[in-house]
Amino acid sequence: MPTYRLTLEFDGTRYRGWQAQKNARTVAGELRRVVAEAVGEILELGGAGRTDAGVHALAQTAHLRLRRRIDPDKLLRQVNEALPSDIHLLSIAPESDRFHARHSATSRTYLYQISRRRTAFAKRYVWWVRRPLDADRMRKAAALVPGRHDFALLCEKPDDQTSTIVVVDSVKVATEGSLILIRLSASHFLWRMVRRVVGILVRVGAGELRPADLEGLLRGLAISADGGTVAEWTAPPSGLFLERVGYPGDPPLPPIAAAFPVP
C-alpha cells in the first residue's frame, strides 16, 4: 500500500477546523476532494491532529495511502493548482507503510500571536489585547506549565477525554515588534487546551491573576475570581498556529519567531 507524507499550510479562517465533517467546510475535506480528483480512490487520509475552527497551520502533517504509486512532484503541482488559495501543500514524500501522521508523531508545537496594537493587516492572525500586558509576569507563569499535569480544568469537555494528563515539554514567551509570542510544545494537546492556557497567561500579564493561580489550576484547584471563568477566558482562534508536528530524527525547533510580524 503506497504511503506518502504530506505537509501543508493553511489559513483556517474560513474552515471549521481540520477534521472532515458533514455539512461543514474543512481543510481535510478540501484536501481529500482535490487529491481524489487527481488520483482516484483514496484508501486513507489522516492528519496529525485536529485543529479548531479558525485555527491556522504553518506545517500540518498528514498521511496518504493509495492503491497505486504516484509521482509525488506531479501530484504536488496538480493539487496546488486545484486547492483553494488559503490551503497550500508544501511537500509530498514517500513514506514507510507504518507511517501514521498522528501515531508516529512524538510532539506538537503551537504558536500563539498576541498583538499589543490595533493592526489593519494582521487581524486574522492575532489576538489584539487592548490592556497593557507585562511579558515578564507571563514568562513567570509560563515557566510553571512544563511537566506532567492534569489539564482537566484547562480543556473543553474533560469527561469526553480518554485522559486529561498531558506532558508539556516547554512553554516560551517572547516579544517581537508589537507582538507577544507564546510557543507551546507537548506530546499532545486536549481540546482548547492551548487557547485556555494562553487566556490565563494574558490575565496574568494584565495583572488580573497571579502566576500562582495558574499553578493552582494545574493542581486541580478552581479559581474563584471576578470577571469570568476559565472557559470565558479562552483565547480566540485567530492568533493560533499549528507550527510543527515532530517525528523521530527531526531537527530541533528554530528560535521562536512571528508567523506574521506586526512592527
Any idea which residues carry the catalytic annotation? 52
* Secondary structure element (H or E) that encloses residue 192, with its range: none
User: What is d(CA 220, CA 106) in angstroms, rounded to the nearest whole number?
Assistant: 26
The one-letter amino acid code at 44 reads E
The one-letter amino acid code at 89 reads L
The count of other CB atoms within 10 Å of the CB of residue 199 is 22
User: What is d(CA 186, CA 166) in angstroms, rounded to the nearest whole number?
Assistant: 7
Which is nearest to 99 in space by CA: 243, 244, 251, 248?
A: 248
C-alpha cell at 178: 508589537
DSSP string, 241-258: EEEEEE-TTPPPPPPP--
What phi, psi does 13 have (nearest 5°)? -55, -40
Q: Do the beta carbons of residue 205 and residue 135 sit within 8 Å?
A: yes
Q: Which residues are registered as beta bridge partners of 111?
A: 183, 241
- What is the CA angle 54-56-58, rounded to 5? 175
Question: What is the number of helices (H) and of strands (E) in the chain?
Answer: 5, 10
Question: Helix (H, G, I), strand (E, B), or coil: what is residue 235?
Answer: coil
Q: Which residues are registered as beta bridge partners of 112?
A: 182, 240
